[in-house]
Structure 1
Amino acid sequence: MPLIINFTQAQTINLSDLSSRTEPQKVLMCPPDYYEVKDVKNAFMEGNLGKVDFELAHNQWQELRNTFQRLGKEVCIINAASGLEDMVFAANQVLPGLDENNKPYVLLSHMRHLSRRQEVPYYQQWFEQRGYQVLELTDSNLLFEGQGDAIWHPGKKMLWGGYGHRTSLTAYEEIAVKLSIPLIALELHTNEFYHLDTCFCVLDPKTVLIYSEAFTTTGLKLIHHFFPRVIEVTAQDAKESFACNAHVFDYKTVVIQRGAVNTVNKLSQAGFEVIEVDTGEFIKSGGSVFCLKIMIY
C-alpha cells in the first residue's frame, strides 16, 4: 500500500474502500516510579532539569489511571524499569494494530535517543507474553517512535505519520508495505512539536483536533481532505496545556490537560464530553494524557 505525501496521491484513497479496524478498548500504562527530567530531549524539557515533584507526579498519574477506569476501561500495567526515566510515556515504544485476520500485533519502535531505546525490550516482552505478534523494521538505521508519531485513522486501517524529528520519512515507506496500509505522512516543521501526538488528536471518523502551525501547507491540505471537521487549538492551549495530547474514548469523551479553556469550549460545542485532568509534572518532560498510555487489544 502507498505512502501518501501530497494531495494528488491522497485523492487516490477512498476511506470507504479501506478495511475497517476495531478500536482497542484496554489501556496500558507504566507507573512513574523512576520518572525525572535528567536531560533535554525536546523544547519542553528546557529549564526543568531536576524539577519534577515526585509525589505530585505519582498522584497525577494515579488520578489519570482512575479517570480511565471510571470510564469503564481496563487499565493494564507494565512495571517500570530502574534507570529508564521516560518509560512512563507508554505511547512511544510500540505501535499496536490488527493484521488481516484481526489478530493483534505490535510494531517495535527504534527511538532516536539511545536512552529510550532501552525501554523497547521491556514492552516487547510484555506483549509477547500476551500473545501479540511482534514486528520489527528491517533497517536499524530507520527511526520510528510508535504511537507518538503514528496514529490510526478512526475505525480504518490507515495511519497518519508525523516525521521530521523522531521518525524518519523512509521508515514510513517500509511500514506502509509491511502493514499493507495507506499511510499519510505529515511533516512536523517546528521545533516544539516533535511528535505527531503533540499537535494532532483524532476524535471520531470525521473530526480531528490540531495545532495548525505545527504543519506545512501540504500537511494541512491532507488533514482537511480526510477530516470534514477540523478543530484548531490556540498557540496558548497547544504549548501551555498540551491540548492536542488529549485522548478520546468511544468517539465521545475527551480526556485533556486542565486549563485549555478555548479548546474545552470548542470540544463542548462540537458535542464532546470533556474531562479535565492535571498532568503538569509530565508536561515538564513534553508529555500529557496521550503520551502516558497506549490503547491495546
Structure 2
Amino acid sequence: MGVFSTVRSVAQMAKNFAVLPRATKLLVVNPKHFDVKYVINPHMEGKIGTVDFAKAAAQWRDLKGIYEKLGFDVYEFDGAQGFPDMVYSANHGLSFRGADEGKSVKEVFMSNMGTEQRRGEVPFFEEWYKKQGYKIHHLPNDLKFEGMGDALWHGSRKLLWGGHGFRSSPKTYEIISNAWNVPIITLELLDPDFYHIDTCLSILDNDTALVFPGAFTVEGNEIIRSVFSKVIEAPEQEARRNMACNAFCPDEKNVIIQAGSEVTNERLEKAGFTVVPVDTTEFMKGGGSVFCMKMFTW
C-alpha cells in the first residue's frame, strides 16, 4: 500500500481504507516493578528515586478500573524484576487484526527498543502474544521501533500513523506496510519531550485528532489537517507538562486523559467527547501517561 510522508503524496493516497475491527481487550502490566532508575527521556530528569510506590499502585488501579467500567477485557501481568518500564505496555509491539487465506488472524510486530535499558522487556511480551495465538513478526536488528508508542491506528480504519525522529526508524514502516498491505503516513518528531508520536497525537475517531502542533514539522501539521476534518489543539503547557495528548479514546466517545488538563478538556467537551480524568503523575515521572500504559489487542 505504501508509505506517505509529504502533503502531496498523502493527497494522492487512495482513501478507500478497509475497516479495522475495534479491539475489545487490553494488555496491562501492573506496577509491581515500576520505578525510575535511569534517564532515557527528558521527563525522567531529576526523577530517579522519587516514585511514591503506594500512590503509583493506586493510580494504576484507578486507570485499570476505568477500562473495566468501559467494558474491556483486561489482561494483567506482573512484568519482570529489573525492567522498571514494562508498565508502559504500548511500547512493546504493534498488534493487528488481519487475514490469511480468507481467515481472520491476529498478528503483531515486536519492537526493537531504541534504548538498551528496555530491550530485555520485549521477549516477555512476545511470549504473551504467542500464548494468545498471534502470528509474530520481527524487524531487522538494525531498525528501531517502539510499537504503539510510535505507531497509531486511524480509529477503525486500516491506516497507520508512524512517528520517527527519536525512537523509531522510518524504514520500519516500509516493512510493516508491505507485510500487512496497509498505507502508513509518517510524521517526523522534532522535540525530545515528545519522543513518541503518542505523546503529541491522539486519534479520537476517524475524523478527529487531539494534537500538539509544536511537536511536528510545518508539513507534518499540514498532513494532519489534510486527513482529519477536526483537529483539537492542546496548549503547550498541558501537552508538555501534563502529557495531555497521551490521552486514549477507546470508543470514539470517552477520552481518558491526565487530570488537570483544563483547556484541553474544555475543547474536547465542546467537540462532543466525554472527558474521563485520571491521575497518572507517578508514571509521568517515567515519561508516560494514559496511552502508554496499555496495549489494545484482539
Q: Secondary structure at the match of 1:288?
A: coil
TM-score, normalised with respect to structure 2: 0.97
Instruction: Tell me how far 1:79 sits from its aligned partner.
Output: 2.5
Partner of 1:264: 265
Partner of 1:191: 192
Partner of 1:8: 8
Q: Does the 8 Å CA contact 2:31/2:78 hold for their aligned counterparts?
A: no
Q: What is the aligned residue count?
A: 295
Partner of 2:112: 110
Partner of 2:131: 129
Instruction: Tell me how far 1:171 sits from its aligned partner.
Output: 1.3
Partner of 2:251: 250
Matches of residues 13-24 of structure 1 in structure 2 within 5 Å? 13-15=13-15, 17-24=16-23
Q: Does the 8 Å CA contact 2:26/2:294 hold for their aligned counterparts?
A: yes
Most deviating of 208-217 and 240-249 = 240-249
Distance (whole Å) between structure 2 residues aligned to residue 78 and residue 13 of structure 1: 40
What is the CA deviation profile of residues 201-228 of structure 1, one whole-angstrom value per residue up to 9, with x for unaligned ones?
Answer: 0001100000000000111111111100
Distance (whole Å) between structure 2 residues aligned to residue 249 and residue 216 of structure 1: 27
User: Are 1:51 and 2:56 matched, yes or no?
Assistant: no
Q: 1:119 aligns with which of 102, 118, 121?
A: 121
Q: Does the 8 Å CA contact 1:78/1:126 hold for their aligned counterparts?
A: no
User: Are 1:288 and 2:270 matched, yes or no?
Assistant: no
Most deviating of 172-181 and 207-216 = 172-181
Distance (whole Å) between structure 1 residues aligned to residue 67 and residue 31 of structure 2: 17
Partner of 1:65: 64
Runs (4 or more) in structure 1 with deviation over 6 Å come to none
Distance (whole Å) between structure 2 residues aligned to residue 234 and residue 194 of structure 1: 18
Matches of residues 159-238 of structure 1 in structure 2 within 5 Å? 159-238=160-239
Distance (whole Å) between structure 2 residues aligned to residue 177 and residue 220 of structure 1: 26
Partner of 1:39: 38
Instruction: Tell me how far 1:66 sits from its aligned partner.
Output: 0.7
Q: Secondary structure at the match of 1:103?
A: strand
Instruction: Tell me how far 1:84 sits from its aligned partner.
Output: 0.5
What is the CA deviation profile of residues 5-56 of structure 1, one whole-angstrom value per residue up to 9, with x for unaligned ones?
Answer: 10111112232x1211111011110001111111111111101011101111
Q: Secondary structure at the match of 1:119?
A: helix
Distance (whole Å) between structure 2 residues aligned to residue 180 and residue 204 of structure 1: 22
Q: Secondary structure at the match of 1:66?
A: helix
Question: Any unmatched runs of 5+ in structure 2?
Answer: none
Which amino acid is the alignment partner of residue 129 of structure 1?
K
Distance (whole Å) between structure 2 residues aligned to residue 78 and residue 164 of structure 1: 31
Distance (whole Å) between structure 2 residues aligned to residue 36 and residue 153 of structure 1: 32
Distance (whole Å) between structure 1 residues aligned to residue 135 and residue 295 of structure 2: 17
Alignment RMSD (CA, Å): 0.9
TM-score, normalised with respect to structure 1: 0.97
